[in-house]
Structure 1
Amino acid sequence: MEPIIAIVLVLIGYALGSAKLINQGNEALVERLGQYHRKLKPGLNFIVPLLDQIVMEDTTREQVLDIKPQNVITRDNIYLEVDGVVYWRVTDIEKSFYEIDDLQQALTNLTTTTLREIIAQNTLEETNAARASMNTALLAQLNETTAQWGVGILRVDIQSITPPESVRKSMEEQRAAEISSRAEILEAEGRRAAAIKKAEGTKTSMQIISEALRSNPESKEILRYLVAQDYINASYRLGESENAKVVFVDPGKGGEMMDLISQMTYGEEHVNNGENGST
């Protein structure tokens, strides 16, 4: 009876020693007598006790690598402080264990070095404007190296690019100057458009008055009234101005003014004919 109990206990111990449970999202590597044997998938797996040994169990889920602020220099010799985030995943656990010693440290060093190389190819202005393209270039270059480590880089985000304080002040002053310049340009264009519309309105008004005078010569008195009204309004506005000056106009010049207006509306020949007829 005792040998049977001993055999049962040995079988139970063997079963417990050979059964290995791998959690979902993980994989494990098994070595037999010091050499790679096989890979264990999620779920219940069995190995040979004493001969087989699990040397590594790691996740195949997406992981995040935080790149701490690094001092880099641009093509135009501006020192920047840059940090970022790398999203990566183990695609081949066998390579990630046997091809590289410290995977996390290797990824950090590789990302930092590649980031410095890419920023060194751009000026400060290009670095601020082309962050998306730098992320793409960084992603492509990292994957070229990490593929042999059994790692896939999913996404790279450059989080912040911080120039020195003196450079930031210069950039702020430049942006303020650009905003002010655009505002002045818009204001000048607005004044120009208003002047054009006013001139077009004046031209249209003169055309209407000219047509009215041609069709109805008796409307000359109306024109005299309009001119006198504009003269009074202009004098009133001039009197309100702080820099107003009093100007005396010879009343006898009124006829010359009307002749000038008539010349503009009727034409020089009509005015001359009127003068010849009156003499």
Structure 2
Amino acid sequence: MESKPIINPTEIKKESKHEKIFRILAIIAVVMIPLFWLLCFKVVKQYERAVIMRFGKVRNSSPLGPGIICIIPITDNVILFDLRTQSFNLGPQEILTKDSVTVTVDAVVYFHVSNPLNCLLNVEYHRRATELLAVSLLRNILGQYTLTELLAKRDSISIGVRKEIDKGTAEWGVGVERVEIKDVKLPFELQKAMAAEAEGTRIAKAKIIEAEGEIKAAENLLQASKVMVETPTTILLKYLQTLNFIAAQQKTSILFPFPMELPSHSGYFKK
């Protein structure tokens, strides 16, 4: 009879090399699969849009959002764009006006991303590009106006600058909402000259108004004298009114003869 092979218990418990590798991979898979699923979902906020690039190409469904979107962590690259209104301040710009006056202008530009795809594919840094374009156009446009026009037509000039900037940023997917000119600073010498000119103009206007007042006063006095000549009673009334005015100004004692001689032809008094 053939003898049965004797099974050693220690050999049964012994794990082969392949079994060890498979066990390690199984443990890694069990641990990584939940994390993998967590990475497959991304939340896009209400004011954001997501552009997904898979293997370097833009997905047809882009832009996505708002809400939950599904991605492949290894192959997909997600770029988020903020659609809210943003702003940047243009630093003090020295501008030579049409009448050869150097002024310093401060302005603020408000813009937003209108097309995320164009903003990603057509320009590298849309904010920086918009800022540089705004500076160039602001200097070119303001140089076409005189100092008086720049100070008086600030609102209309701002609208014109906004339209020109918006034309340049349209292909970048950026919409310019407003351009506000905050301040126009003049050289100190020019400020002194303008102040002296304004003061001289005010003095000239004051003298003209004073002369016109004297002319009107003389005309009124002429008319009053004619009335007094026609009705002598008014002379007496004017005399009494003058005495009343003097007494009201300061405490004085006024002596005048009484009875006073009244005009006989007046209808308001009797002899």
Is residue 2:80 matched to residue 1:61?
Answer: no
Aligned position for 1:138: 161
Aligned position for 1:272: none
Q: 1:51 aligns with which of 75, 97, 105?
A: 75
Aligned position for 2:127: 104
Is residue 2:30 matched to residue 1:12?
Answer: no
Cα RMSD (Å) of the superposition? 2.3
Is residue 2:77 matched to residue 1:25?
Answer: no
Q: Distance in 1 between matches of 2:221 and 2:30?
A: 109
Structure 2 unaligned segments of length 5 or more: list them: 1-22, 240-271
Does the 8 A contact of 2:126 with 2:174 survive in 1?
A: no
Is residue 2:36 matched to residue 1:42?
Answer: no
Q: TM-score, normalised by structure 1?
A: 0.70
Q: Distance in 2 between matches of 1:99 and 1:200?
A: 83
* Structure (1/2) with the larger helix percentage: 1
**Deviation at residue 23 of structure 1 after TM alignment:** 2.5
Q: Distance in 1 between matches of 2:53 and 2:138?
A: 37
Is residue 2:153 matched to residue 1:127?
Answer: no
Aligned position for 2:226: 203
Q: Distance in 1 between matches of 2:210 and 2:178?
A: 45
**Deviation at residue 204 of structure 1 after TM alignment:** 1.8
Figure out how many residues of one structure are paired with residues of the other and give that number.
212
Please give the per-residue CA displacement for 1:191-215, whole angstroms capped at 9, x wherever unaligned. 1221111111112222335xx9xxx
Q: Which amino acid is the alignment partner of residue 50 of structure 1?
A: I
Q: Which amino acid is the alignment partner of residue 25 of structure 1?
A: Y
**Deviation at residue 4 of structure 1 after TM alignment:** 8.0
Q: Which amino acid is the alignment partner of residue 75 of structure 1?
A: K
> Helix, strand or coil: the match of 1:24?
coil
Q: Which amino acid is the alignment partner of residue 145 of structure 1?
A: G
Q: Which amino acid is the alignment partner of residue 165 of structure 1?
A: F
**Deviation at residue 95 of structure 1 after TM alignment:** 1.2
**Deviation at residue 153 of structure 1 after TM alignment:** 1.0
Q: Distance in 2 between matches of 1:165 and 1:22?
A: 53
**Deviation at residue 8 of structure 1 after TM alignment:** 5.1
Aligned position for 1:170: 193
Aligned position for 2:208: 185
Q: Distance in 2 between matches of 1:141 and 1:8?
A: 59
Q: TM-score, normalised by structure 2?
A: 0.72
Q: Which amino acid is the alignment partner of residue 214 of structure 2?
A: R
Q: Distance in 2 between matches of 1:182 and 1:100?
A: 58
Q: Percent identity between the aligned chains?
A: 28
**Deviation at residue 9 of structure 1 after TM alignment:** 4.2
**Deviation at residue 24 of structure 1 after TM alignment:** 3.0
More displaced stretch, 187-196 vs 128-137: 187-196
